[in-house]
Amino acid sequence: DAGITQSPRHKVTETGTPVTLRCHQTENHRYMYWYRQDPGHGLRLIHYSYGVKDTDKGEVSDGYSVSRSKTEDFLLTLESATSSQTSVYFCAIRGHQSSYNEQFFGPGTRLTVL
Amino acid sequence: AQKVTQAQTEISVVEKEDVTLDCVYETRDTTYYLFWYKQPPSGELVFLIRRNSFDEQNEISGRYSWNFQKSTSSFNFTITASQVVDSAVYFCALSEEGTGNQFYFGTGTSLTVIP
């Protein structure tokens, strides 16, 4: 258990509304990641962070922004949600020491945009 | 181009049969890491194994075994004597040194073990 929680776990929203998903970790991991999972695509990286206020884009970053003001929290924001952003969102952390090249995932957030 | 290919979308086997899940990867890096994750029906992603590019030894863990072959860029996963609890979606992933540990996932193989 890497101490990762995501909130909310489920959300239904309407097109055009802003949405923020939160990833929280308790073990001082430096690297954090946001992925989306869609049928036929596996998991795809949206954004990642390599420290407080240090973030970078992933493969599918359009329409998403992130913020990391504290080590323990990594926020994913959809400024104006669209139906194509209906997905399951996973947060992940990079492990420590012997697990440094591994990623461990949170429980996921199921987002539906109507 | 897809960096990780899992050509088998769905597989069904009868309990106690052996099953192999294929994974082919593509990279130009000399240092990279390969992974398998399991996603049971409950939805969480469970880490199974990591393999480093400089270590081609195959690995066995109970009923699970992994065959890493650099010559064919493959990292296949075999479940021996499958059980109903093995029913899940399995993902293969690649991480390249120097990309911030960015992972590239395959599209997954859905395994159903029939009792």
- Residue range B19-73, pLDDT digits in tens: 999 999 999 988 999 999 999 999 999 999 999 999 888 888 899 999 999 999 9
Cα B36 from chain centre: 4
Cα B39 from chain centre: 11
Alpha-carbon gap, residue A22 to A7, rounded angstroms: 5
Question: Nearest Cβ partner of A101 from B33, B91, B107?
Answer: B33
| Model confidence pLDDT, tens digit, residues A36-80 | 999 888 899 999 999 999 999 999 999 999 999 999 999 999 999
Given this model, what pLDDT does residue A96 score?
78
Q: Residue B40 corresponds to which amino acid?
A: P
- Do A33 and B35 make contact, defined as CB atoms within 8 angstroms? no
- Average model confidence (pLDDT) for chain A? 93
- Do A40 and B45 make contact, defined as CB atoms within 8 angstroms? no
Cβ-contact B26, B39 below 8 angstroms: no
Tokens of A95: 């492990």
CB of A103 within 8 Å of a chain B CB? The answer is yes
Phi, psi angle pair for B71, to nearest 5°: -60, -30
Looking up tokens 């012997």 gives A98
- Do A105 and B45 make contact, defined as CB atoms within 8 angstroms? yes
Which range is most confident: A7-21, A94-108, B42-56? A7-21
